[in-house]
């Protein structure tokens, strides 16, 4: 009987052998034209800036860049531009733990207390729990004190001090909740076991062996990093502004790396080829399981297994997706905090490369008169199903634009599509107002609704 791993390798070899017969093989030019045409509206509205790479096996089908790496210096993005990759750093951290396991220095079933004896509940939290976000440890990013901490140099130890005393959200292993704290702890374990800094260990054991010359840990804010893009965020309905400052050492282990599309392709190819973790581990992570496994999300898309990592940190978003059955890699890196690069862009580029027609149409921006916009202003209240139950938001006009004012200097600029439909630029979600003015709803899942409680 053929094992799952043997079956996977057979499909992989077949995909490489039959490149010219695949849905994208031999169609590099037409695919690139389609990608350019698809991205044009996003680029024009400053909703996408960054770099895109699509490859089948080692054959690069699309390798393009859009927008600017520095708007202040008028430097365009290029395929060689380095971007902060945020949580796409997590598979690198997880791979480091697995390398240490292969060398007999630890095991994923080990309790955290073996490495950090004074960590609360460390005797019942294992490395496996950290790797799969099932520890119950609170997310350090959600703590009020993290905002200030993220603007100053940090170490894994100093970051751990921020959350170690917080109560667990659930019994370790009993549930799932995404938490960056898990991977900060893993970085501390790597340093404890290897007697090297997190950045040094990754450089010596992953980056250098794989030839990732444009990838590194950004742990020193004073270092000059060539070709590194500046980070931006949406401002108004079509503008950009600099993103808030962050010292990337505050994301050590969970989001501190920078890279290029070309280096991430090398990493994905090496990982798929068993040159990062061994093939038995690869089978367990990419074939047998589904969910969030060791930094990767494993799911079914377009009828195929899709292995993905994505990230979003101030000024940057990233997406790395690999389809083992087609040996197809889709990489999208952006120096904008807009979620567009992940959804819909990364999703739609994968559909194009796979020959699917399941591609969203980019809504065309329209013009709505000020009098009509004024008809929609007022105070609206969400119900208890909203992630902030019964939260109120003010809809008001600023200049000639409609905005959602969430309070605390948080806002969403609305791009008009029709007199009653808008795109929330901050989250790239469609909002539909009732013609009667009774309320509005987010048309995308899960479809939150707000009712007007105060007219202008």
Biggest CA pair distance of the chain: 71
* pLDDT for the residue 7: 45
263 within 8 A of 256, measured Cβ to Cβ: no
- In the predicted structure, residue 289 carries a pLDDT above the cut 70: no
Residue 432 maps to a domain: yes
* pLDDT for the residue 309: 96
Per-residue pLDDT reduced to its tens digit, 385-436: 888 899 999 999 998 899 999 998 889 999 999 999 999 998 899 999 998 8
- In the predicted structure, residue 62 carries a pLDDT above the cut 90: yes
End-to-end CA distance of the chain: 70
* pLDDT for the residue 370: 86
Residues 140 and 146: their CA atoms lie apart, in Å, by 7
* pLDDT for the residue 4: 42
Query: In terms of domains, do 374 and 346 share one?
Result: no
* pLDDT for the residue 172: 97
Three-class DSSP category at 254: coil
Residues 35 and 266: their CA atoms lie apart, in Å, by 22
Residue 141 maps to a domain: yes
Mean pLDDT, rounded, of the chain: 90
Out of 301, 325, 353, pick the residue that ends a domain.
353
User: Which two tokens mark 302?
Assistant: 């377009």
Residues 323 and 302: their CA atoms lie apart, in Å, by 10
Q: What is the mean pLDDT of residues 236-253?
A: 96
Per-residue pLDDT reduced to its tens digit, 7-23: 444 444 434 333 333 44
Domain at 288, CATH number: 3.40.710.10
* pLDDT for the residue 13: 42
Residue 59 maps to a domain: no
**Better pLDDT: 288 or 33:** 33
Residue 191 maps to a domain: yes
Query: In terms of domains, do 287 and 176 share one?
Result: yes
Query: In terms of domains, do 285 and 431 share one?
Result: no
Query: In terms of domains, do 284 and 166 share one?
Result: yes
Query: In terms of domains, do 340 and 374 share one?
Result: no
395 within 8 A of 342, measured Cβ to Cβ: no
The answer for residues whose C-beta is within 8 angstroms of residue 131's C-beta and 6 or more apart is 94, 97, 108, 182, 186, 293, 294, 295
Give the model's confidence band at 357: pLDDT under 50 very low, under 70 low, under 90 confident, else very high: confident
* pLDDT for the residue 24: 43
Q: What is the mean pLDDT of residues 190-198?
A: 98
* pLDDT for the residue 1: 42
Q: What is the mean pLDDT of residues 146-161?
A: 97
- In the predicted structure, residue 52 carries a pLDDT above the cut 80: yes
Q: What is the DSSP letter of 205?
A: I
- In the predicted structure, residue 3 carries a pLDDT above the cut 50: no
Domain at 382, CATH number: 2.40.128.50
* pLDDT for the residue 58: 94
| Residue-by-residue DSSP string for 109-166 | TSBGGGT-TTSTTTTT-BHHHHHTT-S-PPPGGGSTTHHHHTTS---HHHHHHHHTTS
Q: Sign of dihedral through CA atoms 84, 86, 92, 96? A: positive
Residues 137 and 117: their CA atoms lie apart, in Å, by 16
Residue 237 maps to a domain: yes
**Better pLDDT: 366 or 105:** 105
- In the predicted structure, residue 268 carries a pLDDT above the cut 50: yes
Whole-model pTM: value is 0.90
Radius of gyration of the chain (CA): 23
Q: How far is CA 74 from CA 40, 70, 129, in A?
A: 19, 6, 45
Q: How far is CA 384 from CA 342, 422, 441, 446, 447, in A?
A: 28, 23, 14, 13, 13
Query: In terms of domains, do 323 and 283 share one?
Result: yes
Residue 120 maps to a domain: yes
Per-residue pLDDT reduced to its tens digit, 95-141: 999 999 999 999 999 999 999 999 999 999 999 999 999 999 999 99
CB half-sphere exposure, 83, CA atoms < 13 A: 40
Query: In terms of domains, do 379 and 280 share one?
Result: no
Q: What is the mean pLDDT of residues 357-375?
A: 80
- In the predicted structure, residue 41 carries a pLDDT above the cut 80: yes
Query: In terms of domains, do 298 and 414 share one?
Result: no
Residue 264 maps to a domain: yes
pLDDT over 90, % of the chain: 77
Helix, strand and coil in the chain, % to nearest 5: 30, 25, 40
Query: In terms of domains, do 206 and 302 share one?
Result: yes
Query: In terms of domains, do 254 and 192 share one?
Result: yes
Q: What is the mean pLDDT of residues 187-214?
A: 98
Q: Which of 37-46, 149-158, 281-290 has the lowest mean pLDDT?
A: 281-290
Domain that holds residue 450: 370-454
CB atoms under 10 Å from CB of 228, counted, come to 19
Residue 364 maps to a domain: no
Q: Which of 338, 435, 442, 339 is nearest to 393 (CA)?
A: 442
* pLDDT for the residue 10: 40
Where on the phi/psi map is residue 274: left (φ > 0), alpha (ψ -120 to 50), or beta? left
φ/ψ of residue 429, rounded to 5? -125, 145
Query: In terms of domains, do 346 and 374 share one?
Result: no
* pLDDT for the residue 445: 64
Whether omega before 446 lies within 30 degrees of 0, making that bond cis, reads yes
- In the predicted structure, residue 69 carries a pLDDT above the cut 60: yes
* pLDDT for the residue 246: 97
Q: What is the tally of structural domains in the chain?
A: 2
Query: In terms of domains, do 312 and 378 share one?
Result: no
């Amino acid at each position: 009987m053929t094992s799952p791993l043997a079956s996977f390798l057979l499909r992989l070899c077949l995909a490489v052998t039959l490149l010219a017969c695949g849905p994208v093989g031999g169609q590099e030019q037409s695919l690139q034209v389609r990608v350019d045409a698809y991205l044009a509206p996003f680029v024009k509205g400053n909703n996408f800036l960054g770099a895109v790479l699509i490859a089948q096996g080692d054959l690069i089908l699309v390798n393009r860049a859009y927008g600017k790496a520095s708007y202040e210096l008028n430097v365009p993005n290029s395929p060689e531009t380095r971007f902060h990759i945020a949580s796409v750093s997590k598979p690198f951290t997880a791979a480091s733990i697995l390398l240490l396991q292969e060398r007999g220095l630890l095991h994923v079933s080990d309790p955290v207390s073996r490495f950090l004896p004074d960590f609360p509940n460390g005797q019942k939290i294992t490395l496996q729990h950290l790797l799969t976000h099932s520890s119950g440890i609170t997310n350090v990013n959600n703590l009020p004190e993290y905002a200030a901490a993220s603007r100053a140099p940090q170490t894994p130890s100093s970051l751990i001090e921020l959350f170690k005393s917080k109560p667990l959200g659930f019994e370790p292993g009993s549930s799932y909740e995404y938490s960056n704290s898990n991977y900060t702890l893993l970085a501390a374990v790597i340093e404890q076991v290897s007697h090297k800094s997190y950045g040094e260990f990754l450089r010596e054991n992953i980056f250098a062996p794989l030839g990732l010359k444009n990838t590194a840990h950004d742990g020193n804010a004073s270092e000059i990093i060539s070709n590194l893009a500046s980070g931006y965020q949406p401002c108004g309905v079509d503008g950009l502004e600099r993103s808030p400052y962050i010292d990337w050492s505050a994301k050590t282990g969970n989001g501190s790396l920078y890279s290029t599309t070309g280096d991430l392709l090398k990493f994905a190819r090496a990982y798929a080829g068993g040159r990062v973790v061994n093939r038995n581990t690869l089978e367990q992570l990419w074939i047998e399981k589904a969910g969030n496994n060791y930094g990767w999300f494993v799911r079914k898309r377009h009828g195929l297994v899709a292995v993905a990592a994505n990230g979003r940190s101030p000024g940057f978003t990233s997406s790395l997706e690999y389809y083992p059955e087609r040996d197809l890699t889709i990489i999208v890196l952006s120096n904008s905090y807009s979620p567009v690069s992940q959804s819909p862009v990364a999703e739609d580029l994968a559909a194009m490369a796979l020959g699917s027609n399941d591609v969203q149409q980019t809504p065309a921006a329209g013009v709505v008169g000020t009098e009509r916009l004024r008809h929609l202003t007022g105070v609206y209240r969400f119900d208890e199903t909203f992630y902030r139950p019964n939260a109120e938001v003010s809809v008001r006009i600023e200049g000639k634009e409609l905005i959602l004012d969430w309070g605390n200097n948080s806002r969403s600029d609305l791009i008009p599509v029709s007199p009653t439909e808008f795109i929330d630029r901050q989250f790239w979600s469609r909002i539909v107002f009732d013609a009667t003015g009774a309320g509005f709803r987010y048309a995308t899942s899960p479809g939150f609704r707000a009712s007007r409680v105060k007219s202008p």
